[in-house]
Structures are given as C-alpha cells and as structure tokens.
Amino acid sequence: EDQVTQSPEALRLQEGESSSLNCSYTVSGLRGLFWYRQDPGKGPEFLFTLYSAGEEKEKERLKATLTKKESFLHITAPKPEDSATYLCAVGQGAQKLVFGQGTRLTINP
C-alpha cells in the first residue's frame, strides 16, 4: 500500500533561519510527487510537482528536491508569511493522490 510520511509534524523557526521539511514515500511506481501549502481554513495551494529522482524546483524562498525514497522542501531565510502547513502527496493510478499528514511551519519575527 502506498504511504507518505512527513516530518517533523511541527516546526518553529526564527525569521531568516533556514531549514528543511521531509516527505518519505513508498509507492509502486511514482507518478509524481506534489507539494502544497495550506493556510488555516483554506484549500491547499499548489507549489511544485516532481517526477524523477534528482529533479529540483524553486519558487522564491522554497526549493523542492526528490530522491527515490524521499523529497525535501528547503526553506531559505523564511519570513513570517511563510507560516503555513505544507502537504506532500504522491500520485497513484487513476490520477489519485495519497497525502501525508503535513508539517505545520511557524516563522517567528
């Protein structure tokens, strides 16, 4: 059965303090790994899709990387507005996604 595990569950950083979020997965044939950002009370907002090991994508202070067993979301010099829950998901057949539990990120000014 496909599984996605995110760590840590929660992370508190000071503004400007860089760090990484982890997403480990077990899937029979990766059909894409997806990162989303979710603000409280809102729907998830798409950030990145990665399809193959070694692939990297960047957007502002965020950079996503992918290996055969895990993905990292690196946050460089974060700002308070980066505070959110970050969700990772892997693609299954029939265009379904399996989501991890998320990492709740708090950036203190």
Partner 1 sequence: SQTIHQWPATLVQPVGSPLSLECTVEGTSNPNLYWYRQAAGRGLQLLFYSVGIGQISSEVPQNLSASRPQDRQFILSSKKLLLSDSGFYLCAWTTGGGTQETQYFGPGTRLLVL
Residues forming contacts to partner 1 in the complex (CB under 8 A) are 4, 31-32, 34, 36, 41-46, 49, 87, 89, 91, 94-102, 104
Q: Tokens 């790994």: give the residue.
A: 33
Q: What is the 3-state secondary structure (H, E, C) of the chain?
A: CCEEEEECCEEEEECCCCEEEEEEEECCCCCCEEEEEECCCCCCEEEEEECCCCCEEEECCEEEEECCCEEEEEECCCCHHHCEEEEEEEECHHHCEEECCCEEEEEEC
Report in angstroms how near the CB of residue 94 gets to partner 1 at its nearest. 7
Report in angstroms how near the CB of residue 5 gets to partner 1 at its nearest. 10
Report in angstroms how near the CB of residue 41 gets to partner 1 at its nearest. 7
Report in angstroms how near the CB of residue 29 gets to partner 1 at its nearest. 10
Judged by beta carbon, residue 34 or residue 71, the one nearer partner 1 is: 34
Judged by beta carbon, residue 72 or residue 99, the one nearer partner 1 is: 99
Judged by beta carbon, residue 13 or residue 97, the one nearer partner 1 is: 97
